[in-house]
Amino acid sequence: MIDTLDRISRALTKALTLLAGLMLVAMMLLACANMVSRAVWLPIQGTFELMGFLGAVTTAFALAFAQLNKSHISVGILMKHLPRPVRRLLDALTSLISCAFFALIGSETAQWAGYLVNTGELSETLRIAYHPFVFATAAGCLLMAFVLLVDTLKTVTGRTEH
């Protein structure tokens, strides 16, 4: 079962990482086009707004990838001196608390996106509905929570060493 959950988390992470990469390229193209447009004529309206939306989603989509690759900062000065069972327990506890944190963030962000849908709120400059970006950010946080849950299960069952 844990192997199945791990495969699912890796597949979802791969998909969101690909989308994050595409959004990063879109951000680069938009920034370059805005600079050229500004030099030649007028800046592209709403560039700052779009960069903010795309940046938030790109960051949220990249969280799970960083977790799978253990790229997040971790301080192990004390941990390396503890017995292996204690390290495993602390790793599992840390992953579980982080999972709960990201699940809460994802849930609250999704609720906020639902509120934006209900109120019909639009962005200030472009006057576009921005709830899809908020839902996407929530999805990135929820995937991070899922990856952390799988990490917790793998640590508890001894299938991985951090």
| pLDDT one-digit tens code per residue, 28-45 | 999 999 999 999 999 999
Taking only the tens place, the pLDDT of each residue in 80-102 is 888 988 889 999 999 999 999 99
DSSP percent split of the chain into helix, strand, coil, nearest 5: 80, 0, 20
Confidence of residue 162 (pLDDT cuts 50, 70, 90): very low
CA dihedral 109, 71, 74, 8 (to 10 degrees): 60
Question: pTM of this prediction?
Answer: 0.90
